[in-house]
Structures are given as C-alpha cells and as structure tokens.
Chain A
Amino acid sequence: MISSPLNKAHRQLPHGPALLALMLVIPILILGAMLLSSKLPMLWQPPSAAYDPDRMVFLYSTLPRLVMAVLCGGALAASGAILQQVLRNPLASPTTLGIDAGARLALALATLFFPALFGWGRDVVALLGSSLAACLVFALARRQDFAPIPLVLSGLLVGLYCGALASILALIDSRWLASLFIWGGGSLSQQSWQPTVDLSIRLALAAPFAVFLLRPLTLLELGDDAARGLGLPVSRLRLGAVALAVVLSAFTVSAVGVIGFVGLVAPILTRLAGARDFTARLVWSTLIGALLLLLTDLLVQYGAGASSDLLPTGAVTAILGSPILLWLLPRLQASMRPSSGHTSGTRAARLNNSQNRLVMAALAVGLLGLVLVVLFFGRAPDGSWHWLAQTELSTALPWRWPRSLAVASAGALLATAGFVLQRLTGNEMASPEILGISAGSTFAVAIGLFVIGDMSSVEAFLAAMAGAAATLFLVLLLGRRAGFAPERMLLAGIAISALLDAVIGMLSATGDPRSFQLLSWMSGVASGVQPVGAASAAVVAALMLAVTLLARRPIELLALGAPSAGGLGLNVRSVHLLLLALAAIATAAATPLVGPLTFAGLIAPHLVRLTGVRGALPSLLGSACAGATILLAADWLARVCAFPFQLPTGLVACLVGAPVLLWLLQRRA
C-alpha cells in the first residue's frame, strides 16, 4: 500500500514519463520560437557600437532567466521527489518543511534590524534563514526518529510560525518590506548571469549526494522494518535525505524566492505517468519539473509582453498548478502510516477524580485572576503603568471588556477545535490552523479587498465567513471519498492552505498597499470589536463547548480506534463528519477575531494533558479554560508591550505558545 499508491495509473500509461515530457516540450518549443526566434541571431552577430536595448535584455535578462527557470524547476522537483519518497506522503513538498518561511523571516529581520547583513548578499541571508528553520524542524522531530508525520507537522508549524512573524514585521514597519512580497511571489526576473552561475555551482555541489541516496531510498519502500532488517540505518537515512531535499530547495529559494507547486506537482505527475521505481521517479521528476517551470515562465513572459507590470512566476505556477493538484487529490491514496505509533503520551501521572477537580479549580482561579489584571491593570495615556482608578472605570472599561471577552472566547473556541482534532486524529500536532479554514477566510477577504476596494469591517467579516464556509465545503468534499478519515482531511487542509497562500502571494506581489490591509486583517481585529460582537463570540463559544460536551461519549470511543469503536455500534463516518464540522465552525468563528494564526488550539489541550488531567469532560473544559487564558494573556501583552502600538494578538499568542510547545516536544522521550 505504501510503495505504489498509484497502481491504476501505472497500468494506464506504460511509457508515461517520456510522453509527458514530450507533451511539455512541444508547447515550450512553440512559445520559445515565438518569443526568441527574432533575437537568436544576436548571439553570433557582433555588437553594434550604439546602445541596443533588445540585445542587452536578451543577453542579460531573457537568457539567464530561461536557464534559471530550468535550474529552479529541476531542483525543486528533485527535492519534492526525495521528500515524497522519504516521508511517504504524496503531498510532501519543499514548502511543507517551512524552508521558504524561514528564509522570508530572515530577510524581514535583516531588512529591519541588520541591513549590514545584506553585505554578504541577500541570498546568503535567505539561506541562513532556511537552514535555521530546517534545524528547528529537525530538532522538533528528533525525538520521534524523524518519522514522516511528525516531520511534516513540525515543518508545517515552523513554516506557519516564521511566516506569521515575517508578516507581522511587515505590518508594523511596512516601508520597504514590500520587497518581501515580491520575493514571496517568486519572480524569475534577471539582469545578469551572476545569480544563475551561483545557483548552478551550488546545485552541482549538492547533486552527487542524490546519487548516493538512490539505492537506500529505494529500499525504504519495503517499509521501515524490512529496511532495518537489511541493515539500513533508517532514521539517519531519512535525516540525510530530508537534509538534501532541504538544501536543494533552500538554494533555489534563496536565489529567486518562493516557487511553490513545482516541487509538489512534478513528482506527482511523474508517478501518475507511471514511473515505477524511485530512480526513474527522481530523474523524470527533475526533468518534468524543469520543463514545467520553463513552460510557465515562457507563458508569463509571453503574457506579460504587452504590460510590464510584474507577474511573479512562482505565484503563477501555483495558480496554474492548483487545479492540477485538486484534480489529483482524490486519485492519491494518502499512504500514511497508522497514527497509533504516536498517540497521546502518558508521561504525566494520571490523576484521580478529586485531584482532577483540584487542577480544574486552580485553572479557574488563575483565569479569574488574569481577568482582573487584564481589565484593571495597564498603561495610562502617558505610557506609565497603573491600576485603573475609580474615576477611570467608565472610560477605560468599555474598551477593555469587549476585546478581552472576544479573545477569551476565541481562545476557548480554538482550544475546543484543537481538542476535537487531536482526539479525532490521535495526532498531537493537529491544530485548527491546518484544516485550511483560516486560509479560506483570509482568501475571501483578499478577494473582497481587491474587488470591492474600500471594505468595511462588516463586509470583511461576512467575506471571512463565506470563505470559511466555502473552504469547509471543499475540505469535506475532498475528504468524502476517504470516509472523512482524519489524516486525509488534514492533508487536504494543508494542500488548500498552501494553495490559498500562493494566490494571496500573487495578489500582493505587485506591492499594492491593499496587501497591507489584508495583513492587518490577518493579525486579528479583536481591538475593534463592539460589545455585541464580543457577546456573540462568547455565546458561540459556549454553544460549541456544549455540543462537544454532548459528543464526549463518541470521542472517548474513537480513542479505541475506528474499528473497535465501529464494533461498539458507533457510526464512525458520521461521527468523523460531525466532529470535523464542529472543529471547522469553531475555527471559523475564532479566525476573524484573532487572525488565522495562533497556537492556542494546539497548545491548550497539551497543557491540560501535562497536568495529568484525563477523561474527555475535564480535558475539554480544561483545554477551553487554558485556551482562553493563553489568548487573554497574549492580548494583554499585545496591548501593553509596545504601547501605544497594539501588537497583533495572534502573533503574541504564538510568541507565548512557541516556547511552551518546544518544551513539550522535548519532553517526549
């Protein structure tokens, strides 16, 4: 099941890869001829003395650009092929491991705080960021022997985190970070041969390692145990292979920026076309990736011929690639291992009922204390710290209570969603963000901004809701074929998130100030929430919590595994559907308040488990409490830290949550 998830396709297309390559070469030749035929003679004609713009552009822009497209496409596709093999996940791609987000964050930090670093070259800074992000991912997955799913999820989280930080920096100091948008869109535009030469040298240095890995990676298809039986050091092999894939894509990303989808789609196409063994897949993927990107870039150059406005190839690739991906999704058997290997740990001692109650009481008291601080302690208009005096209550409280109530409700909602998803998938790293719902909301707001123009906050809210609903529908539609199997749903969610991110990247690459409006929306609008909005958030939170409480029996039964739960008379399919819908609605309700990124949903259930609380009822209540606490604390910090500037609550929640998460993961030994 793991080795050849696309058996059917194999039989349909015996000479597939070559045919596919040919199918790509033909349009490339046609387009290439249309674009270049008049200019090729310039190669051998002697330069005229006068300035000849056509010749200069052809020699120093068009040609290096085409070579760059081939190099980048090939490197990314090879990277993707290796990752898909080693992570046994047909949806793995260089983006999955947080490499571009790391580079993006490094570029943002350097632009704002250490411009001197650019003296080494921007590509070196980006490379540094990628490597640090990759190291972080490895550190997170180390305890689990670099098993595929923890690697993917760690990569995803690191990616989300770095991406969020970079966006927030762009928001706070927007002046020249517009360049980050271009970089994020992956423009292949060139003006000299230098970047192309640099990249060729780097890739040439990395390529021999791929040859060494060919045989052992092929053996990995037999399964971990069989491979171990043959004397392969499986975890070290996996680490080495992932590291190589990271290096390949990090070189590319540092040279031209983010180009998504080639690394994902080229290997998938190759598989579908029928490349059987890993060697064939790697070679053909590389070739097809190179051709795909070349074709896309020729299309971009051809299409951009009339207007000179920037059309970043990376984002265009994503947009062209997205229908292919969505079409492929149902055809892919997500060959994931059963997740039982890393379900909830039992390191903390189990508590009995009275101890349970004690912990819950402590949580409740803590939350209450926090509420008092949040409402009454803060910064005065002149910036000094002070408790509210009696006279100030009527002026300050009307501003503080709605937003506090709103973020606390959002925290409870996210924690509930996280709790449900973690129970449902048996996967500790599951969090509401990766269902794709938040990305859907963001996307809808982006469309609204670019279509309507001046959008009021109510319109933005409606757009976000519509986006969330549409994404939910899409995710469920894609998941239906798999019987709403949780792992599949998460993969579909990841795919949709990545896709929407790419489209947003495309919209913002032109440096349009509207992209800052979008970023601002993404950082959450809790600060502007009105009493009615806050109250409705609280009602929704209570409602969701109540429904989840009602569903606690099926949740507990699911923990036994789907077959046993089915044996006990549970309709597993509809319970999956119900719980997924629950998590999605909770996420959708929280997203407009605190933005699409917080770790509250991920961390809150973990914190509660660490205290030793067991059982669905206390765990759920505890998680909701913890989620509310995290966001309430984060929102307070966001208000007072950089006074009078208000930091985005979602970001601060990430900053508060990330160390906790790291610590939690390191405990797992």
Chain B
Amino acid sequence: MSLDYGLAETLLMLDSAPIAVADARGWKDWVAQPTLPISTVDCGVALDPNLELLSTLKPDVILTTEYLAMVEDRLTVVAPVRRLSIFSEGGTPYPKAVEAALALGELIGDRDRAQRYVAESETYFDVCRERARPFSEKPILLLSFLDPRHVRVYGAPGMYDDVLKRIGLRNAWTEETNYWGFSTIGIEALAKIGSAFAVADHLPQDIQAVLDQSPLWNDLPSVSGRKIPVLPTVLMFGAIPSARRFAGLLLDALEGAAA
C-alpha cells in the first residue's frame, strides 16, 4: 500500500501493484501512465488517509515519504511504515528514485527484478540520449503556468533536471530551485534567458490568451511569437517511471516542433 504516487508507480513497474493508493481517483490527472489496476483501493487524501478503511485492507507495509511525516504516527497503528523519500533536502531526485526502486525490490522479495528495471531504464535513457543529440544545441526551458503573470520553472536539483542531464540536454534555467525542483517566478524573469526551447507541462486556455497579447512574452527569444508545446500529463514529482515518461514526451515535443 502506498501513500505516494512515485513509489506506487515504481511498484507497478515491478509487477507488484499496491493494494491501495492515496488519492487513486486523481491518478489519471496526475500520473496517467502507468495505469493503475481497477482493483486498487482509493484510501483518501495522502495527508489524511482513511484509517478505518486501511485497517480492513490489512496491508503488509505502508509506504510514505518525508512529506507525509505528520501522518506516520497514526499509520503505525495499522501496519509497519516504510519511508522512502525521493524529494528531500540534499542530493538530486533520480539517484534517490533508483535507491527507492531497489529498496522496494527488496521489500517485495525480488531484488533482481528491481535491478533489472533500473538497468533497463539506463538503457532507455541511452536511447533517448541518441534521439536528443540533434537538439543538444539549444537549452530547454520547462515551464508550468500558474496564472497569467507567474510560472513555475523547473531546475536543479529536480527530477526533470536530472533527466535533461541524463539525456544530454541543457536546462535553460540555471539558478538553484527548491528540492522539489521548481522555482516560482514572474514571467519577466524569463527575459534574461537567451535563446532556448520553451516547453510547458501546464498551460490553461485563458492564460494562453493573455500571453498572446503580452509584448514582453511574445518577444522572449525562447518563445518569439510561436505557441509553445504543451506536454501531456506527466507526474513532475514522481520516480523512475515518470522520469522515463517525461524523457519520451519531451523528445516527442522536440521532434514535433522540428518537423
């Protein structure tokens, strides 16, 4: 049973689906791939899980992260709690996601399976690296639009940044972010970035409409009047599966824009 999406998706890739996931109903809006089995029980909000329901499921172990520290006390009454943090102070997320995958492998009694998955992911990224070679000139600018005046920009240390580095691309945002891998900034702060390829993972219609009217936005060298590509749903705070999905989707967008 997992209270965290990232750990849950890793379990899915190890063919050991969790019996319950927190906020399972939000899975398709956040994670999309890999899909969650229909039999997975939804046990409520991660920060306030339904304990009565959990106790009837009799889970072997409950997976949490540092983010959920406040609920761990009450969970221990139900089942042993195992904390595997991917997003935490110090280091970058991808190596921690690898560690978490190996730890989960141990937990399900199939360490080999986990090691194979990690190795397979490395191969996948090597292939991505080849695909990314034509685009290595221009740095990549990853944005999430919050409202017409502010964006989240993804940087280091962060999962997206780790992926960019791994597949040989440069991140256009070079300033340090929080340990979740993003900074919240006003759009004007993007002006100092020179030529770059901007991609968004979230851009509501009304914001696009306002941006179209903005001289500052349209003059940004990373935008220069074109509509920026928007990635399909991908979990920005996930583990290895989301990192792989992101790499694939980003390359699709790059190739789509070049075509």
Contacts and interface: CB of A to CB of B under 8 A. Distances in A.
A309 B184 contact: yes
A395 interface: yes
Contact of B216 (A61, A396, A400, A511): A61
Interface centre among A173, A189, A192, A517 (most CB of B within 10 A): A192
A309 B185 contact: yes
A644 interface: yes
Interface stretch (A49-57, A289-297, A497-505): A49-57
Interface residues of B, number: 60
Contacts of A119: 205-206, 209
Contacts of A456: 69-70, 72-73
A646 B50 contact: yes
A115 interface: yes
A189 B189 CA distance: 10
Contact of A57 (B191, B209, B210, B237): B191
Interface string A523-547: 1010110100000000000000000
Given A61-B186, A456-B69, A646 B48 contact: yes
Interface residues of A, number: 61
B72 to A, nearest CB: 7
A115 B202 CA distance: 14
Contacts of B45: 171-172, 520, 645-646
Nearest to B56: A381
Contact of A182 (B150, B204, B205): B150
Nearest to B237: A513
B57 interface: yes
A177 B143 CA distance: 16
Given A395-B55, A646-B48, A511 B70 contact: no
Given A60-B216, A182-B146, A644-B50, A530 B74 contact: yes
A80 B66 CA distance: 43
Interface centre among B43, B52, B180 (most CB of A within 10 A): B52
Interface string B126-167: 000000000000000000001111101000000000000000
B16 interface: no
Nearest to B23: A645
Contacts of B119: none
A48 interface: no
Contact of B185 (A308, A528, A646): A308
A520 B48 contact: yes
Contacts of B73: 456-458, 528
Given A399-B52, A456-B72, A520-B47, A511 B184 contact: yes
Contacts of A530: 74, 77
Interface in B175-189: 175, 178, 180, 182-189
Contacts of A51: 219, 221
Interface centre among B43, B47, B175, B209 (most CB of A within 10 A): B47
B70 A521 contact: yes
Contacts of B150: 179, 182, 187, 189, 310
Contacts of A189: 149-150, 186-188
B186 A381 contact: no
B219 A528 contact: no
A277 interface: no
A56 B187 contact: no
A103 interface: no
B44 interface: yes
B186 A511 contact: no
Given A56-B191, A191-B187, A646-B48, A510 B178 contact: yes
A377 interface: no
A208 interface: no
Contacts of A521: 70
Nearest to A528: B74
Contacts of A407: none
A175 to B, nearest CB: 7
Contacts of A457: 70-74
A119 B187 CA distance: 20
A666 B147 CA distance: 39
Given A61-B188, A381-B56, A460-B70, A190 B149 contact: yes
Contacts of A187: 149-150, 186
A191 B218 CA distance: 10
Nearest to B29: A175
A328 B62 CA distance: 52
Nearest to A529: B74
18 contacts: A51-B221, A60-B188, A115-B204, A119-B209, A122-B147, A176-B146, A182-B147, A182-B184, A192-B215, A310-B150, A381-B53, A395-B56, A399-B55, A525-B70, A528-B51, A644-B53, A645-B50, A646-B44
Q: Which 3 residue pairs across A and B have the least CB separation, nearest first?
A: A189-B186, A528-B74, A61-B188
Given A454-B67, A510-B184, 12 more contacts: A121-B206, A176-B202, A189-B187, A192-B213, A395-B56, A453-B89, A456-B73, A458-B73, A513-B180, A644-B41, A644-B50, A645-B45
Interface of B: 26, 29-30, 41-45, 47-48, 50-53, 55-57, 66-67, 69-74, 77, 89, 146-150, 152, 175, 178, 180, 182-189, 191-192, 202, 204-206, 209-210, 213-217, 219, 221, 237
